[in-house]
């Protein structure tokens, strides 16, 4: 299969995982979708490394896989087990309207990324709008979901999508920056885990609607 088509297929599967994540009802199911999405992304990084001749991307793919396929999902699963809460529902918008919004976001992504896809000489450029759609869906999930844990997953999807844009548009940003970004995200997730746990202890729920004391 030619490089461009393979990258495209992986980008498509990546976005599919974002959609599957938002329709999932159980928290552990959502975490699993996120882990699969990260796995697809690591594979994409490997493919770009192989066909694009960027050997350092193999290293990035490996670090990425360790952090986002193994460490972060296990941290999130541990949190799910600790707070003993499985249901992830309670979005502000219901599932069908959420899907409709996300479909519109995909269309917006194709329009917004036109200047980049039009000018990018790389064979991977066609996947960029799909990645950008992932950014928008991640953002939307963060604002639409009331469960703290799903907000964190929205943020992580957003991060994944930005990594993918960098991968598709320029074969990745320099290695040192990439590693720094991974570490920041990892620390952020670890801190967020502590907070989710404390929120659960303090408010007896991880519904962020409870967090409404500070106003005005």
Partner 1 sequence: MILVLLLFVPAVASALIARSRNSSRAALIHVWANIATLIAGLDVVQRVYVTKTEIAWNLLRADSLSAFMIAIITFISAITGIYAVGYVNTEFDSSQFRRARLFYALFQLFIFTMLLAVTTDNLGVMWVAIEGTTLATVFLVNLHDNHTGLEAAYKYLILSSVGIALAFMGTVFMYYAAVAQASEIGLSWTSLIAVANRLDPTIVRLAFVFILIGYGTKAGLAPMHTWLPDAHSEAPAPISALMSGVLLNVGLYALIRFKAVADISAGPAFASAWLMRFGLLSLGLSAAFLVSQRNYKRMLAYSSVEHTGIIALGLGFGGYWGTLGALLHMVNHALSKSMLFILSGSILLKYRTTEIRGVRGLLKTAPWTGRAFLCGIFALVGLPPFGAFISEFIIFRAGFAMHSTAYSVIGISLLVVVFAGMLASMNSMLYGSPAEPWDRSDPVRLPLAPVALNVVLLLALGLTLPDGVQEFLGGVLRIVGVSL
Binding site for partner 1 (CB under 8 A): 112, 115-116, 119-120, 135, 139, 142, 148, 151-152, 154-155, 158-159, 162, 165-166, 169-170, 173-174, 176-177, 180-181, 183-184, 187-188, 191-192, 195, 198-199, 202-203, 208, 211-214, 216
* Closer residue to partner 1, CB minimum distance, 31 or 165: 165
* Closer residue to partner 1, CB minimum distance, 3 or 203: 203
- DSSP code at position 174: -
* Closer residue to partner 1, CB minimum distance, 105 or 148: 148
Smallest distance from partner 1 to CB 120, Å: 8
d(CA 19, CA 44): 19
Q: Are 41 and 17 spatial neighbours (Cβ–Cβ below 8 Å)? A: no
Smallest distance from partner 1 to CB 60, Å: 13
Smallest distance from partner 1 to CB 128, Å: 10
d(CA 193, CA 88): 16
Two tokens at 148?
């703290």
* Closer residue to partner 1, CB minimum distance, 77 or 142: 142
Smallest distance from partner 1 to CB 85, Å: 17
* Closer residue to partner 1, CB minimum distance, 25 or 202: 202
Smallest distance from partner 1 to CB 202, Å: 6
List C-alpha distances in Å: 190 to 18, 29, 91, 105.
22, 20, 24, 30
> Comparing C-alpha atoms, which of 107, 103, 130 is closest to residue 117?
130
Smallest distance from partner 1 to CB 190, Å: 9
List C-alpha distances in Å: 158 to 2, 30, 49.
28, 15, 22
Contacts of 91 (CB under 8 A, 6+ apart): 98, 144, 145, 146, 150
* Closer residue to partner 1, CB minimum distance, 96 or 152: 152
Helix and strand numbers (H, E) in the chain are 9, 0
């Amino acid at each position: 299969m030619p490089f461009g088509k393979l990258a495209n297929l992986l980008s498509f599967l990546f976005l599919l995982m974002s959609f599957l994540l938002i329709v999932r009802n159980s928290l552990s199911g959502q975490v699993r979708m996120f882990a699969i999405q990260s796995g697809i992304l690591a594979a994409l990084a490997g493919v770009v490394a192989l066909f694009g001749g960027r050997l350092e991307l193999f290293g990035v793919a490996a670090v990425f896989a360790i952090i986002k396929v193994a460490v972060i999902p296990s941290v999130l699963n541990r949190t799910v087990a600790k707070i003993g809460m499985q249901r992830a529902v309670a979005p502000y918008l219901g599932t069908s309207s959420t899907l409709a919004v996300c479909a519109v976001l995909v269309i917006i992504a194709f329009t917004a990324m036109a200047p980049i896809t039009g000018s990018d000489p790389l064979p991977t450029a066609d996947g960029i709008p799909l990645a950008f759609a992932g950014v928008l869906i991640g953002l939307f999930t963060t604002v639409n979901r009331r469960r703290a844990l799903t907000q964190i997953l929205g943020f992580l999807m957003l991060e994944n999508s930005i990594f993918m844009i960098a991968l598709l548009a320029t074969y990745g940003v320099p290695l040192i920056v990439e590693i720094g970004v991974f570490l920041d995200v990892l620390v952020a997730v670890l801190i967020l885990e502590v907070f989710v746990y404390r929120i659960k202890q303090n408010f007896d729920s991880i519904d962020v609607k409870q967090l409404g004391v500070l106003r005005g």
